[in-house]
């Protein structure tokens, strides 16, 4: 199917591969006249609870300590207000905590213990994100790569060498991203992730970083990224896409220009990144860089469609 949609003024949702489980809930909010921010939250929450989505929430990849640390952001394209949390433990819906950071605090970004404290204050749903499967895979990873004497002392050993070992293109990055245009022509962006598998504790990728993992501006459009977040942090990719549209580029041209920026980065490890974008009218474009051929696709829904459909991303190599 065509990658780009050129219809004007519609309610639109674009989500990455992992977002499929939340598309119906997000569309329902929009068709009931709800705000884009509400659709973002409604769409991402089911993904956060789905243990088969290994890159987000419950069942997500643990860090080197066997802990699941969650990151999320949400951004309102009308006001440019945003909220984000990083390295959040013990709560099931980081997207909702990020939303309340935006709504209740004078801050934009909370991390670690502070994020967990705030989540408890607002009555966010607490819960265990580790599953038997994720615990087992963490233990199997240690047994496969770490000598027995170090496992006996784990985690009271230097972790940096093992973090470098986890630079695996199959598991290094993962996020769910939603971009929404509502009936009021307001645009919003949201992300949620557990991040890099077996990451160094406290690692933040691009997902909670406004301007890297996601950005929204009603005047021009929105963008969000999945994959190796270190790359989109270094290039400011989500904000760049929106700025290129501000400069007069189409959403397609803006994504390609941002891809060229990414190619300028020195890459120490194999990497892949996918840029999801919509313009102010809701026209969508998605480009996947460095992925295995045939694996780049996303979810698309616009009003009038009975359900979301899979669409192929434009695939590029480094």
Please check the confidence at residue 172 and state whether its pLDDT lies above 70: no
CA distance 71 to 202: 10
Instruction: Please say whether the beta carbons of 99 and 74 come within 8 A.
Output: yes
Residue pointed to by tokens 């691009």: 206
Q: Is 122 a domain residue?
A: yes
At 166, the pLDDT band (50, 70, 90 cuts) reads: confident
Look at strands 221-227 and 214-217 and give their pairing: antiparallel
Residue 95 lies in a domain: yes
Exposed (0-12), middle (13-18) or buried (19+): which is 314, by Cβ within 10 Å? Answer: middle
Tens of pLDDT, residue by residue over 8-60, are 468 999 999 999 999 999 999 999 999 999 999 999 999 999 999 999 999 99
Q: Clarify whether 6 is annotated catalytic.
A: no
**Strands, sheet with 109-111, edge to edge from the N-terminal-most edge strand:** 109-111, 82-88, 70-76, 187-193, 176-181, 12-16, 297-302, 309-312
Please indicate, yes or no, if residue 4 is contained in any of the structural domains.
Answer: no
CA pair distance 114, 87, nearest whole angstrom = 10
- Work out how many domains the chain is built from and give that number: 1
Domain range enclosing 208? 12-316
pLDDT (mean) for 67-94: 98
Beta strands in the chain (DSSP E): 12-16, 70-76, 82-88, 109-111, 176-181, 187-193, 214-217, 221-227, 273-279, 284-289, 297-302, 309-312, 314-316
The C-alpha angle with vertex 244 and arms to 295 and 280, in degrees rounded to 5, equals 80
Residue 1: per-residue pLDDT: 39
Question: Which among 218, 285, 289 is positioned nearest to 255, based on CA atoms?
Answer: 285
Q: Against a cut of 0.75, is the pTM above it?
A: yes
The answer to whether residue 86 sits within a structural domain is yes
Of 17, 166, 175, 193, the catalytic one is 175
* 287 is a domain residue: yes
Please state, in angstroms and rounded to a whole number, the distance separating the CA atoms of residues 172 and 155: 21
Nearest to 39 by CA among 8, 9, 15: 15
The answer to whether the CB of 233 falls within 8 A of the CB of 284 is no
For residue 145, tell me if it sits in a domain: yes
**Residue 3 resides in a domain:** no
Sign for the pseudo-dihedral over CA of 125, 126, 129, 132? negative
Q: What is the pLDDT of residues 220-278, one digit of tens each?
A: 999 999 999 999 999 999 999 999 999 999 999 999 999 999 999 998 888 899 999 99
Cβ neighbours, 10 Å, residue 263: 14
pLDDT in tens, 84-143: 999 999 999 999 999 999 999 999 999 999 999 999 999 999 999 999 999 999 999 999
Would 6 be classed as within a structural domain?
A: no
CATH number, domain with residue 45: 3.60.20.30
The pair of structure tokens assigned to 126 is 């607490």
């Amino acid at each position: 199917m065509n990658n780009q949609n050129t219809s004007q003024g519609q309610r639109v949702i674009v989500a990455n591969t992992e977002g499929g489980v939340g598309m119906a809930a997000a569309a329902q909010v929009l068709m009931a006249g709800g705000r884009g921010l509400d659709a973002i939250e409604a769409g991402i929450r089911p993904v956060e609870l789905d243990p088969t989505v290994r890159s987000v929430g419950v069942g997500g990849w643990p860090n080197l300590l066997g802990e699941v640390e969650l990151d999320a952001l949400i951004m309102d394209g009308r006001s440019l207000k945003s909220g984000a949390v990083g390295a959040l433990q013990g709560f099931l819906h980081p997207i909702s905590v990020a939303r309340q950071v935006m709504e209740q605090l004078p801050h934009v970004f909370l991390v670690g213990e502070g994020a967990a404290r705030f989540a408890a204050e607002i009555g966010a749903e607490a819960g265990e994100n580790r599953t038997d499967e994720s615990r087992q895979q963490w233990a199997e990873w240690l047994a496969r790569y770490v000598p027995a004497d170090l496992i006996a002392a784990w985690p009271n050993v230097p972790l940096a060498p093992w973090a470098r070992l986890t630079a695996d293109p199959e598991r290094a990055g993962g996020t769910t991203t939603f971009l929404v245009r509502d009936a009021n022509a307001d645009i919003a962006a949201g992300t949620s992730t557990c991040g890099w598998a077996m990451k160094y504790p406290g690692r933040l990728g691009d997902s909670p970083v406004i301007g890297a993992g996601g950005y929204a501006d009603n005047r021009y459009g929105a963008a969000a990224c999945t994959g190796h977040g270190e790359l989109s942090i270094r290039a400011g990719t989500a904000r760049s896409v929106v700025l290129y549209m501000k400069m007069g580029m189409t959403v397609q041209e803006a994504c390609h220009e941002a891809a060229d920026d990414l190619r300028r980065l020195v890459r120490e490890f194999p990497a892949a990144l996918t840029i999801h974008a919509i313009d102010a009218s809701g026209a969508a474009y998605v480009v996947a860089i460095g992925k295995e051929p045939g694996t780049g696709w996303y979810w698309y829904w616009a009003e009038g469609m009975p359900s979301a459909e899979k669409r192929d991303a434009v695939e590029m190599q480094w």
